[in-house]
Amino acid sequence: FREVIQTYPAAPDAAIAQFQIGESYYYKKDCKAAVVEYQKFVTDYPKSDRRPEGLYMLGVCYSDLGQRTNAQRAFEQVVKEHPSSNSAIMATQRLQGMGR
């Protein structure tokens, strides 16, 4: 994935590759590394179709790490920026579970 990003940094596949790096760490149960990669995805590829999912997964990882405030911010950002997305629906459920 990193090779795709280095070779074609502006290509749509670069955004997908960056997101997949975050996913890889998440599925390895390494949320600290996943947070770094999802944040990089959200920051570097703000127009990606997968941005809502990236923000949501950022919130999930923060939640798994016990960083409630950061998780809440990420979930709220999904709802604010992409209110009709599936990720916003899931983020709303997470926020309700947090008492928000």
* Stretch (H or E) spanning 23: helix 12-27
For residue 26, the model assigns a pLDDT of 98
82 pLDDT higher than 90: yes
Q: What is the pLDDT of residues 39-48, one digit of tens each?
A: 999 999 999 9
C-alpha count within 13 angstroms, C-beta hemisphere, residue 86: 5
Query: What is residue 11's predicted lDDT score, i.e. its pLDDT?
Result: 87
Average of pLDDT values for 47-75? Answer: 97
Query: Which two structure tokens, joined as six digits, stand for 39?
Result: 């944040």
Q: Is the pLDDT of residue 100 over 80?
A: no
Closest by Cα among 53, 40, 39 to 88:
53
* Statement: residue 10 has pLDDT above 90: no
